[in-house]
């Protein structure tokens, strides 16, 4: 996708070198916007291979409000392995802290918890939160079905009262849905953008969520827009970024997605949605910054 590659190019050309929490310097710009028309295909990068299965299982994890990373591990998804509830395994770069974070399964009240139980008192990953907090996702869907032109369909994961309990404060902290002439559009806001490793996941995840919400409401798929704040490329990702820019974004067409056995978004599982005709350049390895 040219829209993504334009962001990569902009950071490489204009990014200023800054220190980071992770210890690895990054080249950073203040502000960028991603935009994609879903009628042109599903925005899964073709200039490198992106694992859709991991994106879909993580979204299922969020939609169901789960905070136990073992749920992901059981599905061979390891993208949350290194994080943990800071109350149970405090964040640190030393080997002892890293080991404790790896072994602790509780992530605290992260994304999905806020989507489904906003501001409920958090206890443990296996506590029963039925009827507790604000179910923002359910309210959004109810509004979408009864008043689709409402301009207040917003889901917020940024909860200042519980940030200290989260394994990672939300990077993509809110999303909004708006419908225009029978098309559902989704805009998300992101405070911190790991351009090479995280952003391709974020784009595909919110595109998948847009697809599911459109099915839920019986609407067509419109635009996906990301408002991106601190947009950075880590220093050890520079070579991979240049490699990706050297690849032709038009060599492979964007894939399509198809969801089977549809009942509702709350009964959806990652296995229900398939990527069709996905072709891409080979994977580019990027080391994750913790």
Residues classed as catalytic: 171
Partners of residue 73 on adjacent β-strands? none
Of residues 225, 232, 228, the one with CA closest to residue 207 = 225
Q: Which stretches of the chain are DSSP H helices?
A: 2-14, 52-63, 69-73, 95-103, 111-117, 136-146, 199-217, 238-245
- CA-to-CA separations, 288 to 48, 58, 211, in angstroms, rounded: 16, 17, 28
Count other C-beta atoms under 10 Å from residue 277's C-beta: 11
Question: How far, in Å, CA of 151 to CA of 139, rounded?
Answer: 13
Positive or negative: CA dihedral 110, 258, 188, 12:
positive
Could you tell me the two tokens for 115?
A: 């989507």
Contacts within 8 Å (CB) and 24+ apart, 6-13: 7/32, 7/34, 7/195, 7/199, 7/228, 7/231, 8/195, 8/196, 8/233, 8/241, 8/244, 8/245, 9/245, 10/231, 11/195, 11/231, 11/232, 11/233, 11/241, 12/233, 12/238, 12/241, 12/242, 12/245
Could you tell me the two tokens for 189?
A: 């806001």
Question: How far, in Å, CA of 129 to CA of 68, rounded?
Answer: 13
């Amino acid at each position: 996708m040219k829209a993504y590659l334009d962001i990569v190019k902009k950071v490489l050309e204009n990014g200023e070198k800054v220190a980071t929490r992770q210890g690895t310097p990054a080249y950073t710009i203040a502000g960028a916007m991603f935009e994609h028309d879903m009628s042109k295909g599903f925005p899964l990068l073709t200039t490198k291979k992106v694992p859709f299965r991991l994106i879909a299982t993580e979204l299922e994890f969020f939609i169901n409000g789960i905070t136990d990373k073992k749920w992901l591990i059981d599905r061979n998804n390891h993208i949350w392995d290194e994080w943990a509830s800071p109350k149970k395994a405090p964040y640190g770069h030393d080997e002892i802290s890293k080991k404790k974070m790896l072994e602790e399964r509780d992530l605290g009240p992260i994304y999905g918890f806020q989507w489904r139980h906003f501001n409920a008192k958090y206890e443990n990953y296996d506590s029963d939160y039925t009827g507790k907090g604000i179910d923002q996702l359910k309210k959004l869907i109810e509004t979408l079905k009864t008043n689709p032109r409402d301009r207040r369909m917003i889901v917020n994961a940024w909860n200042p009262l519980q940030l200290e309990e989260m394994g990672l404060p939300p990077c993509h902290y809110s999303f909004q849905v708006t419908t225009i002439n029978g098309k559902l559009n989704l805009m998300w806001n992101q405070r911190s953008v790991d351009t090479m490793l995280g952003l391709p996941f974020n784009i595909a995840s919110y595109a998948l969520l847009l697809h599911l919400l459109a099915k839920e409401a019986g609407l067509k798929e419109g635009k996906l827009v990301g408002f991106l704040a601190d947009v950075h490329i880590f220093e050890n990702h520079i070579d991979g970024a240049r490699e990706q820019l050297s690849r032709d974004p038009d060599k492979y067409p964007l894939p399509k997605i198809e969801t089977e056995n549809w009942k509702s978004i709350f009964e959806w599982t990652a296995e229900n949605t398939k990527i069709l005709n996905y072709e891409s350049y080979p994977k580019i390895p990027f080391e994750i910054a913790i």
